Structure 1
């Protein structure tokens, strides 16, 4: 096996057609457009209806990425689906593989919440660099509306649904310039979508624990404090590994969680606002989908051009966080 470089050659994104803006949301819970927008930067979000599955969104985003990459689905060796909200708890990547007709691809799910796309990117890169696979489809997708308490205004205003995808391919030149991944389980309680058991005696001394997952809970102040401190640090470490400085970054794409976080991180890194990509106002926090959706929109708008250096960082439940520095295109 030989070490091989990585290029990101295609992107795609998909969101549900149903829009839930702040004004309509204020009819559900006691809130207002001004309250939400001033604290988060969010004005709208997309919400999946009962007929919309994660697989359908992920497949739609993937088809766009495959088309941009100008490859056939049969050329894909590996599909990595970064999600916390699969249609099937056993995994949904294989369903996407079937829907795409990617008959040669092995497929699996990866769960790292809002850091999922970054963790998935680094995971996929290892398969390419070691020569095991040549072409990888990486998808970040979540339908968090399934797991939101719509009576809790602290969380229900934040989240939206969607999927984004990229095609990674072996290349003579390595476009993944540096990365850094981190986890801190001692802060797991700050952001949860936890299982709650309902113990059921079975026979003799045996008790089983069927149950279900509970809606999202979050300590917003702690998550904000964590992100503003840790994200600039992890980006700087990834830049160090890439042997680059902040001045050499063309674009900053952060996980779209809160505009205040995005602004604070950019300020700490001294990155001007015209080099920061944000679509949070339109989609809210789409978890693992947020970075690839923002990337795809910027590429299709002509903002991001081949050769541009992009610094990106995901952060969230776990707690997990990470950063990657890459060049777009071949």
Structure 2
């Protein structure tokens, strides 16, 4: 009998505050030189929706923070699995900015957000190790990969992986890219299963490119030269990032499938980081072309970016949890189905997992 890593529970949290595209119509958007865009904000928002698919996003209320969302998602995942929190061996919290309170607007990562979640869960077990994982948008996927290593080595039986981010507090109100980002949290519980079957996490692949790619996502002052200089915001080179992702992600997914001994035709769902609808569609098309295929099955790649925006590390676990709990019309997963999880983000990092539903 071999030890396999399966997802035994999942949960997510989305803020109640819905911000629609029309809420940006009064914004004064500027370019990198500080010059106001000639196009009106309404036209800018319409173009962004055409490219990314985003119609609305969620922003966290002032009284809550990233660790709170992580806790809410984690508690739901544990309840879903009906697991006593004291039995957790690890808590891995993927994020990039820590807690950024609405009052201070400064990253707070001491103590680690994973430790804060462990505290909120009331876990007394000192052998439950809680740590954070800053890995760009692919952080949750990388956390799952680490959980698999712990479980298959016999070091752990249950690992909780959380992905949460409050991007609404690190975006430049004068940068049109601010409309892309949002807030949210997702969590999955990964457990050991003794089985001879081809089940659970079958393979994974991670790649990091830094020679010319590190500046595709970065932190910088506001586009507005009159904005206080003591603030920096998340920025991106959208076109270069798009080109990098479309060129590189398909090969990483193909390599993960090859390692698992799985053909593309066997894949039931591709759950990819919800960064840009057109970019994700282009990635999927490029992946199929690598196999000499052009016909993509309908419903293969579910999308949630239209309503939730890009909440970084949280996009994939939120998407997975909503499908598992039948909250997405026409989307479902059953025992034996093969799922690909894939992400790309700051670093630049790319990773992919091939998983068979138990």
Match runs of 1:1-330 below 5 Å: 4-29=3-28, 30-32=41-43, 33-87=45-99, 88-90=108-110, 91-104=112-125, 105-153=128-176, 155-173=177-195, 174-186=199-211, 187-193=213-219, 214-270=232-288, 271-301=296-326, 303-328=332-357, 330=358
C-alpha contact (below 8 Å) 2:53/2:276 kept by paired residues = yes
Secondary structure in 2 aligned to 1:233?
helix
C-alpha contact (below 8 Å) 1:46/1:160 kept by paired residues = yes
Residues 319/213 of structure 1: CA separation in 2 closer, same or farther (3 Å cut): farther
C-alpha contact (below 8 Å) 1:16/1:52 kept by paired residues = no
Give the Cα separation in 1 of the matches to 2:124 and 2:258.
39
Which string of whole-angstrom CA distances, capped at 9 and with x for unpartnered residues, describes residues 160-218 of structure 1? 000000000011135101110010112101111369xxxxxxxxxxxxxxx96610111
Which string of whole-angstrom CA distances, capped at 9 and with x for unpartnered residues, describes residues 286-308 of structure 1? 10000000111111116122332
**Structure 1: segments with no counterpart, 5+ residues:** 196-210
| TM-score under structure 1 length normalisation | 0.90
Q: CA deviation at 1:49?
A: 2.4
Give the Cα separation in 2 of the matches to 1:6 and 1:194.
40
Q: CA deviation at 1:4?
A: 2.4
Give the Cα separation in 1 of the matches to 2:189 and 2:306.
26
**Structure 2: segments with no counterpart, 5+ residues:** 29-40, 100-107, 222-228, 289-295
C-alpha contact (below 8 Å) 1:193/1:213 kept by paired residues = no
Give the Cα separation in 2 of the matches to 1:194 and 1:130.
41
Residues 212/134 of structure 1: CA separation in 2 closer, same or farther (3 Å cut): farther
Q: CA deviation at 1:28?
A: 2.6
Secondary structure in 2 aligned to 1:133?
coil
CA-based RMSD? 1.9
Which string of whole-angstrom CA distances, capped at 9 and with x for unpartnered residues, describes residues 47-104 of structure 1? 1122111111111111111111111111111100010021232321100011112332
Give the Cα separation in 2 of the matches to 1:45 and 1:185.
30
Residues 188/159 of structure 1: CA separation in 2 closer, same or farther (3 Å cut): same
How many residue pairs were aligned?
Answer: 313
Give the Cα separation in 2 of the matches to 1:194 and 1:23.
26
Give the Cα separation in 2 of the matches to 1:251 and 1:313.
11
Q: CA deviation at 1:3?
A: 6.6
Query: Which residue does 1:200 correspond to in 2?
Result: none
C-alpha contact (below 8 Å) 1:256/1:290 kept by paired residues = yes
Q: CA deviation at 1:31?
A: 3.7
